Amino acid sequence: MKSFGILKNVIQPYAWGSYTAIPRLLGEASASETPCAELWMGAHPKACSLVYVEDRWVSLQDLINQNPVDVLGRHVAGKYDHRLPFLLKVLAAEQPLSVQVHPGLKQAKKGFERENSRNIPLSAPERNYRDDNHKPECICALTPFWAMNGFRSISEILKRMKCVCPEEMQRELGILREERDPGRLKRFFTALMTMEIDRRLRIIDKSMQKAEELSEYDPAFQWMRVLHHHYPGDIGVFSPVLLNLVRLEPGEAMFLDSAQLHGYLKGMGIELMANSDNVLRGGLTRKHIEVEELLNVVDFTQRSVAILRPKKRSKTEQVYAAPVDEFVLSIISVGETLPHVSGRNRSIEILLCTDGEAVLTDTAHRTNLRVRKGISVVVPAAMDVYGIEGKAVFYKASVPV
């Protein structure tokens, strides 16, 4: 493969997804009959994209296997064992997702081997590790996007927990107040996750009464109400108090490293990550939760959230910085008098048009491909310089070289 290929991608129908956002992006006239939560673009075995090549649809992974150097580039093919190292998604959350964490690379390899040795099927609901890879990720907002990312400072957690928690919870709050204990945040979180069910339900019920009264003063309490509506009795309703609450405006992004507890609440965004589907859940879900493994993976460092804004690479391309080797996300914007010309030193790229219409030109083969909103294209590393002309916006996923 030495030129552009249009992609056909899989939509994941998770229950929290929007019925309209992804269909609208794809140019469909009516809402979907099932929720459309994520559109996957890549070569993950769970949902590999198809590429239109020589008048037929072929698996992207099959094309990589046939000629990894041409498709991925020599450096990427060698470093990542003939595998595409990233996965690009459109995420459309109509309802909150589970609070979750992704393992680091060593944890993923050990966990995957351990569950394989126990003969747990990859599709089993109790499976934590579905592959042997880590999953750092970057989320860029297409609409206003609400999320939670990493633990607040203990002082901020205490301030808000004291506002809503009943006297019955003073034992747990006492753990947080013990300044001489360097592991107090982990001990506190463990106490929440292992709380006896009847006591947990009583505490949540009383806490929600106070959150209702205070919801107009702090968005953390507003989101507690929303989460309680969707997941009554779930300890995850305290997540907006424990974790940094973030609202991304369109065009803003944030990075989430492995081991960082997080959750997406509402909105539509472009998500780029290492090529993995490993998720350990910690609440706001009816799916499997394995508390012991969750506690082994989560990083309890208190941190603030850095909002990423794109930095200019050229007149037409802006880049979001992320401290990973597997991927880099950028935006390409072209206008009637502002065409884009690619560089020569490239790896594989996936382009998704999110607005407008443009013509992609393979300068070496002198062929054109017309692309409109909702169409995604794979650009193999072996392809020479290409150009984009028209009036359009593209999100580009690639591997740093």
Model pLDDT, residue 365: 81
Name 38's bridge partners: 12, 91
Which residue, among 397, 138, 131, has the nearest Cα to 277 in the 3D structure?
131
Share of the chain above pLDDT 90, in %: 91
Model pLDDT, residue 363: 86
Q: Is the pLDDT of residue 107 over 90?
A: yes
Q: Torsion angle of alpha carbons 121, 122, 127, 131, nearest 10°?
A: 140
pLDDT band at residue 54 under the 50/70/90 scheme: confident
Query: How is residue 18 annotated by DSSP?
Result: B
CB 69 within 8 A of CB 81: no
Q: Per residue in 139-197, pLDDT tens?
A: 999 999 999 999 999 999 999 999 999 999 999 999 999 988 889 999 999 999 999 99
| Arithmetic mean of pLDDT, 84-94 | 98
Model pLDDT, residue 366: 83
Q: Is the pLDDT of residue 1 over 90?
A: no
Sequence-ordered strand ranges (E) for 84-222 = 86-93, 99-101, 137-141, 145-151
| Mean of pLDDT over the chain | 95
Which residue, among 112, 122, 128, 149, has the nearest Cα to 289 in the 3D structure?
128
- CATH code for the part of the protein at 311-398: 2.60.120.10
SS3 145: strand
pTM for the model: 0.94
Q: Is the pLDDT of residue 375 over 90?
A: yes
Indicate the domain borders of the chain: 5-148+247-285, 156-239, 311-398
298's tokens: 């989560």
Catalytic site positions? 281
User: What CA–CA distance (Å, rounded) separates 92 from 270?
Assistant: 9
Share of the chain above pLDDT 70, in %: 100
| Arithmetic mean of pLDDT, 244-270 | 97
Model pLDDT, residue 364: 83
Model pLDDT, residue 350: 98
Q: What are the φ and ψ backbone dihedral angles of 74, each rounded to 5 degrees?
A: -60, -45
| Arithmetic mean of pLDDT, 65-90 | 96
Q: Per residue in 270-279, pLDDT tens?
A: 999 999 989 9
Model pLDDT, residue 123: 87
| Arithmetic mean of pLDDT, 315-330 | 96
Common-topology check for domains 5-148+247-285 and 311-398: yes
CB 135 within 8 A of CB 274: yes
**Residue 234: partners with Cβ closer than 8 Å, 6 or more residues away:** 204, 227, 228, 283, 284, 285
pLDDT band at residue 345 under the 50/70/90 scheme: confident
Q: Is the pLDDT of residue 401 over 90?
A: no
Model pLDDT, residue 360: 97
Which residue, among 366, 365, 368, 360, has the nearest Cα to 392 in the 3D structure?
360
Q: Per residue in 264-298, pLDDT tens?
A: 999 999 999 999 989 999 999 988 899 999 999 99
Topology of domain 5-148+247-285, CATH: Jelly Rolls (2.60.120)
Q: Is the pLDDT of residue 18 over 90?
A: yes
Name 147's bridge partners: 246, 264
User: What CA–CA distance (Å, rounded) separates 237 from 349?
Assistant: 39
Model pLDDT, residue 29: 86
Model pLDDT, residue 38: 98
Residue type for 302, please?
A: Q
